[in-house]
Structure 1
């Protein structure tokens, strides 16, 4: 479903410069998120990242381009609980003043913990909490900051494991990933007329740093470039961009989004 109108394109073109935009990158210290953060900073955006782990934030600060570090704000906080997300939001607004865009890439890289009958309810709770609950709680906290402005964007980055990947030992990952996919679909259908550009990038393959690449995987730097371009252009809404292989980055995320 692709909704682009001439008025939305011209409004985007006439909107804020990248240097006036502040992107909250949820999950920005992870493999996918760090590539997105670097690309956004390189395009001149200001970026804020919230993480529970201060050492991961330090690692991210060392990873981004040295000349862009001043535009990166890092906050130690927990967006996995309602109280934590609210505290993180207040700290965020105090630090950066406003948020114009949100990119949500929450989750974990891989889980193959065994078939369901060998797992505990606690294991399932952890998977659902990490993939679905944190996505929901952070959306509830931060979506109000951008929802009513057509110059703003909210982009979900999800895995395709919920429908594409099921192998022995990945059952709970599939359940968690499917929950997140369903949540993103619910938001598109529940908020059809929202002003904010609401999009989803669905990745049906692995994502890795350059030193850990495998055949068919997406380089997190290339993925970051594609997502940053989607955020920058602001000319689609309620769209799903599905990436099955590296070639899709260009044809799906860039060309379809022109």
Structure 2
């Protein structure tokens, strides 16, 4: 399949990381679909992408955080685009610093887990069947490194939620060892920002988007974790095509 024949569903595509991925995929000639509960975020995304690619972007308002909601939005999406050939999952949030565990409630923990793990699981369950049986298809998770250590005091629940996401990706790699679909994970151990909101050591979301788009385009690797620790790693990935 040529890029123009492929339809990439970017879960979390209206966020900082996801928007960079969406723009890069569109610039490479892919058709792209994005789901969000917030139409205003979808409108900002439509304004952000290259003007000449807007016709290749499909946006759908829906909720992938519940099983019923994910199934409903899946049917609505398929009516719009007909098929999905690739999925990039960039769900959740990049930061949480609500305080030490003894100051939090069970409701707080449930919200973190729902955002970082449950939505990832529910969307996987809904959309995985669309791509699982074809070697021409891909499913790429974008995760963070916060699950491997406490980033700073007060971020404990972020560590718990991020660790759950990392564990879920590991489970999928090992539960589906012979999967025809190319299943990969991009683990980012650094902050990600837009060009106007960069900080030392941060990755530019546009550069990260280019790297992820290249991984989706090539369809060579599978059951692989690609780790990016710093801007130098990302530059190497872009120059050498190591993703």
- TM-score normalised by structure 2 residue count: 0.98
1:182 counterpart SS class? helix
Report deviation, 1:189. 0.4
Deviates further, 152-161 or 241-250: 241-250
Report deviation, 1:252. 4.3
**What does residue 82 of structure 2 align with?**
97
Report deviation, 1:250. 3.4
Q: Does the 8 Å contact 1:160/1:202 carry over to 2? A: yes
Residues 119-161 of structure 1 deviation map (CA, whole Å, 9 limit, x = unaligned): 0000000000000000000000001000000000000000110
> Out of 226, 232, 238, which is 1:241 matched to?
226
1:73 counterpart SS class? strand
Q: Mark the runs of 5 or more structure 1 residues left unpaired by the alignment.
A: 1-15
Q: Distance in 1 between matches of 2:238 and 2:168?
A: 21
1:109 counterpart SS class? coil
> Out of 166, 170, 175, which is 2:151 matched to?
166
2:29 counterpart SS class? coil
Q: Does the 8 Å contact 2:5/2:30 carry over to 1? A: yes
Report deviation, 1:165. 3.9
Report deviation, 1:254. 6.1
Report deviation, 1:253. 6.5
Deviates further, 247-256 or 61-70: 247-256
Report whether the alignment pairs 1:205 with 2:206.
Answer: no
Q: Does the 8 Å contact 1:226/1:254 carry over to 2? A: no
Report whether the alignment pairs 1:83 with 2:68.
Answer: yes
Q: Distance in 1 between matches of 2:63 and 2:113?
A: 16
Q: Mark the runs of 5 or more structure 2 residues left unpaired by the alignment.
A: none
- How many residues end up aligned between the 2 structures? 243
Q: Does the 8 Å contact 1:164/1:204 carry over to 2? A: no
Report whether the alignment pairs 1:43 with 2:39.
Answer: no
**What does residue 240 of structure 2 align with?**
255
Tell me: CA distance 1:254–1:163, structure 2 relative to 1, closer, same or farther (3 Å). Answer: farther
**What does residue 7 of structure 1 align with?**
none
Q: Does the 8 Å contact 1:106/1:135 carry over to 2? A: yes
Q: Distance in 2 between matches of 1:199 and 1:239?
A: 5
2:55 counterpart SS class? helix
**What does residue 57 of structure 2 align with?**
72
Q: Does the 8 Å contact 1:159/1:203 carry over to 2? A: yes
The CA RMSD measured in Å over matched residues stands at 1.1
Q: Distance in 2 between matches of 1:82 and 1:97?
A: 21
Q: Distance in 1 between matches of 2:155 and 2:240?
A: 33
Q: Distance in 2 between matches of 1:167 and 1:109?
A: 14
